[in-house]
Amino acid sequence: MNTISKEPERHEIEALLPWHAAGTLSRRDADRVEQALAGDRELARRYDLVREELAETIHLNETLGAPSARAMEKLFAAIDAEEARAPRRRRSIDLGSRISEFLFKAGPSIH
Amino acid sequence: MQSTSDEVLIGRIANGDRLAMQVLYARYHVRVFRFVVRLVRNDSTAEDLISEVFLDVWRQAGRFEGRSAVSTWLLAIARFKALSALRRRSDEELDEETAGAIEDPSDDPATVLEKQDKSVMLRKCLAGLSAEHREIIDLVYYHEKSVEEVAEIVGIPENTVKTRMFYARKRLAELLKSEGIERGWP
């Protein structure tokens, strides 16, 4: 197999490997990486290392658990308190009712 | 069945729809919690912070312009909250935590066995990275953020995102090497 002849281009492709593994590259960049991987055995080996890191990062994060119900209770208690202090204006409803109100008031004079 | 898009939910939240807030919370609270807990290394602090993050969403939904994904916006708010919380903690406390995270407790038989398991070692070394390196690794690998999105969340140029990711991976390789795992890179 041939390696990529231009070293700067290889560095550029190698820098994209983590995003390629995560599937977050644009179609164009993903094609460039795929093409490079197909022709460069060392790059492909390094890509395997990236994939190992990806798998273990997911595993590590998945072991972190989740917040207790306390977090949600605290959030909605805070929202309720804010709404009790100063109820938020419903934008679309406000606009709609204002238009209705305007049309109702203006109705008799509109021809 | 298609679920309501994040942007539609934000629009409803801007109008004071409590149920939309519950849906958005259910959709993202675990991921936001995990992002925060990896930065602050404390479950209780992380729980307090995610309440604050979603309260900010409730307050600021009307100003969301949709230029980035909702998940990117959430992580950017979460990051800001986490860093503010970290600044409130003393430097000594942080230093001790960082040292503790990479410290090898002992060389008892269980540890020897553990060292033989490359996956376990990889996870241990991932946990031992600095906050800056953990953050970028998590954003790219776990939160599936593009170069552009990471740049937006962290507030750095796109080229710096790539460079920081490179150095985070390089540091990871060094930590693995110090544990006897040679990867042949960099």
A23: which chain B residues are within 8 Å (Cβ-Cβ)?
Answer: 144
Is the pTM value of this prediction over 0.90? no
Report CB contact under 8 Å: B169, A53.
yes
| pLDDT > 80? residue B110 | no
pLDDT value of residue B108: 64
Provide the shortest C-alpha distance from residue B1 to chain A (in Å). 24
C-alpha to C-alpha distance for B53 and B185, rounded to whole angstroms: 38
- Ranking A12-16, A107-111, B104-108, B178-182 by mean pLDDT, the lowest is A107-111
Q: Which ipTM did the prediction report?
A: 0.85
- Residue pair B136/B168 in contact (Cβ under 8 Å)? The answer is yes
DSSP string, B84-133: HHHHHS-HHHHHHHHHHHH------HHHHHHHH-HHHHHHHHHHTS-HHH
Choose between A91 and B52: higher pLDDT.
B52
Q: Which two tokens stand for residue B176?
A: 């693995």
Mean pLDDT of A47-73: 96
Q: Does B21 touch chain A (CB under 8 A)?
A: yes
Mean pLDDT of B140-149: 98
| pLDDT > 60? residue B37 | yes
Q: Does A79 touch chain B (CB under 8 A)?
A: yes
pLDDT value of residue A108: 43
Provide the shortest C-alpha distance from residue B86 to chain A (in Å). 19
- Ranking B60-64, B117-121, B125-129, B147-151 by mean pLDDT, the lowest is B117-121
Mean pLDDT of A49-57: 97
Mean pLDDT of A27-45: 96
- Closest residue in chain B to residue A81, using alpha carbons only: B55
Mean pLDDT of B12-20: 96
The residue among B13, B43, B124, B141 with the most chain A CBs within 10 A of its CB, best to mutate, is: B141
Q: Does A99 touch chain B (CB under 8 A)?
A: no
